[in-house]
């Protein structure tokens, strides 16, 4: 690289540094959460996924749907097929038409997806003071900051500073862009009673729900990483062999 | 090194009627390639393999994808969750597009560094630019198909650029959309064209290779092939080297594919398209960012569109803007500096394109847009005053010089 090139390169690097600093903006810095699957080679903590499912069912599901999650997917979280069947049976789904042309309700089965909380966006807004609780199927992949954002949002509720004007029905949460959010603080200590006896602190529940939603967003993460390690090991060995072959083939020219 | 027996009666019978064996021999086996091609010359074959990967994965995705505004997003999630290895195919396709562009951009910069666009390879160079344009069209329309927020709003912003044309602009936009906004008809036609264009690219690649094999490869010295002492048969020398390059590039690809498959994407595209809610920042895919930066650095909409178009179109006249009789930057001290300034300019414009067009970014964008075009405008002058370094007598001599003075251990150069 030439002298001028180096100069311009240095300027470009300095510029990139300025950018990163500016990017923060009007949103509070996210708290860093450390979950096992966030390690590049890590796997999901499936006990936490199961606890997160419980928090989702008992707290979040009142407003938020997970349209892409089927009950049978829960088989991958360590729950046994009878347990999954029992969870599904707690829900009713619309089926039909039957031979009389009628739609009918029946208990959900593992093949079904989790029923939607609201039939459409308008119904959701009508029930939530105009706010629209987003579907959570992909939420961890669909937010800047990913797991850190979800965790920070859930534990980020606080009393508003004196100078902060909140709109009617809004809550103060500095993690949310703009600082005010229509969702009231969803978690409080002992909001659920964990089946496995874990103490249900806000922090614990926030971690568990974050783990659960990460799994819902990317259920194939563990399989992907396992395959990736094999593929890369193969390619590294193959590359070394091809390099040796290349050396040998070219040797007579050098 | 014959791979088949030319005296075999079946081979003879077939070859007499359809010369597939002679063709393979002339273009894949005995094809004479300069013996001094370095590893930068691997990116052509890597780009070719990426085209194959994109077509293969794309055909499988098309079997499961549903191109309707209602179902497109859902069907992509169906692929990700319910199709066997659907996540692998889709992530290969999504990241493969980026890998294809990485390979092609390096391939283009390599061509610029060694003067590969110069006579008699102008049409070869043109075909390359046509392939780039087809890739851009294909990638843009492919990005719309998942029908996420960035798909929808990216499509809206980019198609709206045509409205900058005087008189007919609005009509063209309506015609492109098949309606009065980006909607189901837009998605359907983009899908159709996204399936078509890769095969057009294949045709353009064929012509690109035809021109290449007619005039043969350029090489790091930029000197013409003068005789058999300058070349080696393509097989096994470059087949093995190309496979090595593809394997190493495959490792790089795999790191993205398996460990950070969404790193090059935008989070907003995991939210379903919503015509009533505009994302805070509409950003194209990374490979469009330098051009997007040029577009936004011009305050006038039509002029911005023209500048963006010109930033690629100017490559077509590069062979005539460069007046030097020496091809390779290795022997051109001034052009070498300019080349690196140009590379850095493209990278800076990429960073600018990723940031909102306001404040300091606007000015950085304008300065580097100016430098981008200045590169092409000063080239004719450089060719006149630049004093090239002394050229080696030939390709073979340059190789001997290197390995004689040798012990550099730089396999790429010695090769």
Residue in B242, B266, B268, B322 annotated catalytic: B242
Residues of B in contact with A18 (CB under 8 A): 360
More confident residue, B406 or A223: A223
Q: How far is A200 from chain B (nearest CA, A)?
A: 31
Distance (Å, rounded) from C-alpha B117 to C-alpha B318? Answer: 8
Give the pair of three-digit tokens for residue A35: 């979950």
Q: What's the confidence (pLDDT) of residue A169?
A: 87
pLDDT at B410 over 70: no
- Note if B68 is an active site residue: no
pLDDT of B342: 98
Name the pLDDT band for A27 (thresholds 50, 70, 90).
Answer: confident
Each residue's pLDDT tens digit, A74-121 = 999 999 999 999 999 999 999 999 999 999 999 999 999 999 999 999
What is the model's pLDDT at position A253? 82
* Cβ contact A5–B341 (<8 Å): yes
Alpha-carbon distance values, B225 to B118, B121, B220, B290 (Å): 15, 14, 12, 36
Instruction: State the catalytic residue, choosing from B93, B194, B235, B241.
Output: B241
The torsion region of residue A96 among left (phi > 0), alpha (psi -120 to 50) and beta comes to: left
Residue B254 and residue A235: Cβ atoms within 8 Å? yes
Taking the C-alpha atoms of residue A164 and residue A209, their distance in angstroms, rounded to an integer, is 29
Distance CA A183, CA A171 (A): 7
Q: What is the DSSP string of B336-367?
A: HHHHHHHHHHHHHHHHHHHS-SSHHHHHHHHH
Give the pLDDT confidence score for residue B7 in this predicted structure: 84
* pLDDT at site A7: 52
Instruction: Please provide the size of chain B in residues.
Output: 415
Token pair recorded at residue A188? 């409080």
Q: pLDDT tens digits, residue range B255-278? A: 999 999 999 999 999 999 999 999
Q: What is the pLDDT of residue A9?
A: 54
A167-222 per-position pLDDT tens digit = 888 999 999 999 999 999 999 999 999 999 999 999 999 999 999 999 999 999 99
Predicted confidence (pLDDT) at residue A18 exceeds the cutoff of 70: no
- Confidence label for B352 from pLDDT (cuts 50, 70 and 90): very high
Mean model confidence pLDDT for chain B: 94
Alpha carbon of B194 to those of B140, B149, B180: distances in Å? 9, 19, 21
In the prediction, which pLDDT does A25 show?
45
Q: Which CATH class is domain B35-399?
A: mainly alpha
- The CATH architecture annotation of domain A25-69+114-219 reads Orthogonal Bundle (1.10)
Q: Is the CB of residue A15 less than 8 Å away from at least one CB of chain B?
A: yes
Query: How confident is the model over B384-392, as a mean pLDDT?
Result: 95
- A 72-91 residues with CB < 8 A to B: 73
Residues 6 or more apart from A222 whose CB is under 8 A from it? A37, A43, A44
Q: In terms of CA atoms, which chain B residue is nearest residue A226? A: B258
Comparing A48 with B404, the larger pLDDT belongs to: A48
Q: Is 70 exceeded by the pLDDT of residue B34?
A: yes
pLDDT for residue B277: 93
Give B195-236 pLDDT, tens digit per residue: 999 999 999 999 999 999 999 999 999 999 999 999 999 999
Q: How confident is the model at residue B3 (pLDDT cuts 50, 70, 90)?
A: low
- Per-domain boundaries in chain B: 35-399
Distance CA A23, CA B283 (A): 15
pLDDT-derived band at A254 (thresholds 50, 70, 90) equals: low
C-alpha closest to that of B51 among B107, B97, B105: B97
With vertex at residue A148, the alpha carbon angle to CA A145 and CA A154, rounded to the nearest 5 degrees, is 120
Residue A165 has what pLDDT?
87
pLDDT exceeds 80 at position A21: no
The active-site residue out of B285, B311, B322, B328 is B285
- Strands B231-233 vs B32-34: parallel, antiparallel or unpaired: antiparallel
**DSSP-based three-state secondary structure for A250:** helix
Domain ranges in chain A are 25-69+114-219, 225-254
Task: Tell me the CA end-to-end span of chain B in Å, nearest whole number.
Answer: 20
A-B contacts (CB, under 8 Å) = 116
Residues B49-74, mean pLDDT to the nearest whole number: 98
In this prediction, residue B269 carries a pLDDT of 97
Average pLDDT over residues B20-38: 94
State mean pLDDT over B173-179. Answer: 96
User: How far is it, in rounded angstroms, from Cα A52 to Cα A215?
Assistant: 10
Would the CB atoms of A4 and B341 count as touching at under 8 Å?
A: yes
* Confidence category of residue B406, pLDDT binned at 50, 70, 90: very low
Task: Give the pLDDT score at A51.
Answer: 97
Q: Name residues 204-233 of chain A within 8 A of B (Cβ).
A: 217, 219-220, 223-225, 227-229, 231-232
Q: Tell me, what's the pLDDT at B401?
A: 79
* Residues forming a β-bridge with A171: A181
- Please name the member of B35, B87, B250 whose beta carbon is closest to the beta carbon of A253: B35
Q: Tell me the average pLDDT across B308-313.
A: 98
Q: What is the per-residue pLDDT for B408?
A: 41
Residues of chain A found within 8 Å of residue B88, distances taken between Cβ atoms: 224, 227
Chain B residues lying within 8 Å of A9, measured CB to CB: 344
Whether residue A51 contacts residue A194, with contact meaning beta carbons closer than 8 Å, is answered with: yes
Under the banding of pLDDT at 50, 70 and 90, the label for residue B411 is: very low
Contact call for B341 and A40, based on CB within 8 A: no
Query: How many beta carbons lie within 10 A of that of residue A138, not counting itself?
Result: 25
Tokens found for residue B368 = 């580097």
Distance CA B172, CA A65 (A): 40
């Amino acid at each position: 690289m030439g002298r001028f090139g180096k100069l311009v390169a240095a300027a470009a690097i300095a510029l990139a540094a300025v950018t990163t600093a500016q990017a923060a903006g009007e949103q509070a810095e996210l708290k860093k959460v450390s979950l096992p699957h966030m390690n590049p080679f890590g796997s999901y903590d499936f006990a936490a996924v199961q606890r997160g499912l419980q928090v989702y069912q008992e707290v979040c599901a009142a407003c938020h749907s997970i349209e892409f999650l089927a009950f049978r997917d829960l088989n991958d979280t360590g729950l046994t097929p009878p347990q999954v069947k029992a969870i599904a049976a707690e829900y009713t789904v619309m089926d039909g038409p039957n031979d009389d042309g009628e739609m009918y309700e029946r208990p959900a089965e593992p093949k079904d997806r989790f029923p939607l909380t609201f039939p459409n966006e308008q119904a959701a807004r009508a029930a939530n003071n105009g706010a629209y609780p987003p579907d959570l199927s992909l939420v961890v992949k669909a937010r800047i900051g990913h797991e850190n954002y979800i965790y920070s949002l859930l534990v980020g509720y606080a009393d508003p500073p004196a100078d902060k004007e909140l709109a009617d029905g809004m809550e103060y949460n500095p993690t949310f862009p703009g600082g005010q959010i229509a969702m009231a603080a969803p978690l409080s200590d002992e909001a659920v009673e964990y089946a496995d006896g874990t103490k249900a602190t806000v922090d614990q529940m926030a971690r568990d729900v974050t783990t659960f939603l990460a799994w819902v967003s990317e259920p194939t993460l563990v399989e992907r990483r396992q395959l990736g390690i094999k593929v890369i090991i193969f390619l590294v060995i193959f590359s070394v062999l091809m390099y040796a072959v290349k050396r040998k083939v070219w040797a007579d020219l050098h | 090194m014959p791979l088949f027996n030319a005296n075999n009666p079946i081979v003879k019978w077939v070859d007499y009627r359809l010369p597939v064996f002679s063709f393979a021999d002339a273009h894949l086996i005995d094809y004479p390639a300069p013996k001094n091609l370095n590893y930068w010359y691997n990116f052509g074959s890597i780009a070719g393999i990426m085209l194959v990967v994109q077509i293969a994965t794309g055909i499988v995705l098309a079997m499961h994808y549903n191109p309707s505004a209602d179902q497109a997003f859902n069907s992509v999630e169906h692929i990700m969750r319910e199709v066997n290895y659907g996540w692998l195919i889709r992530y290969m396709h999504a990241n493969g597009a980026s890998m294809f562009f990485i390979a092609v951009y390096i391939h283009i910069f390599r061509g610029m560094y060694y003067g590969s666009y110069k006579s008699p390879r102008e049409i070869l160079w043109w075909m390359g630019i046509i392939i780039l344009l087809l890739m851009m069209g294909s990638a843009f329309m492919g990005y719309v198909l998942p029908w996420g927020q960035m798909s929808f709003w990216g499509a809206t912003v980019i198609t709206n650029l045509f409205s900058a044309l005087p008189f007919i602009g609005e009509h063209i936009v309506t015609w492109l959309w098949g309606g009065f906004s980006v909607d189901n008809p837009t998605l359907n036609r983009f899908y159709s064209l996204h399936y078509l264009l890769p095969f057009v690219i294949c045709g353009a690649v064929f012509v690109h290779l035809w021109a290449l094999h007619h005039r043969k490869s350029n090489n790091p010295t930029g000197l013409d092939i003068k005789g058999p002492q300058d070349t080696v048969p393509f097989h096994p020398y470059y087949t093995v080297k190309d496979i090595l390059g593809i394997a190493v590039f495959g490792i790089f690809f795999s790191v993205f594919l398996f460990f950070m498959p969404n790193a090059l994407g935008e989070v907003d595209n995991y939210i379903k398209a919503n015509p009533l809610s505009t994302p805070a920042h509409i950003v194209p895919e990374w490979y469009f960012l330098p051009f997007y930066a040029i577009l936004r650095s011009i305050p006038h909409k039509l002029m911005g569109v023209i500048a963006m178009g010109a930033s690629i179109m100017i490559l077509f006249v590069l062979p005539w803007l460069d007046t030097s009789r020496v091809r390779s930057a290795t022997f051109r001290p001034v052009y070498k500096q300019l080349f690196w300034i140009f590379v850095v300019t493209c990278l800076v414009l990429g960073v600018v394109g990723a940031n909102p067009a306001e404040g300091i970014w606007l000015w950085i964008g304008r300065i580097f847009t100016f430098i981008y075009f200045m590169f092409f405008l000063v080239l004719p002058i450089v060719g006149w005053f630049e004093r090239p370094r002394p050229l080696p007598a030939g390709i073979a001599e340059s190789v001997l010089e290197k390995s004689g003075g040798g012990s550099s251990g730089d396999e790429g150069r010695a090769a």
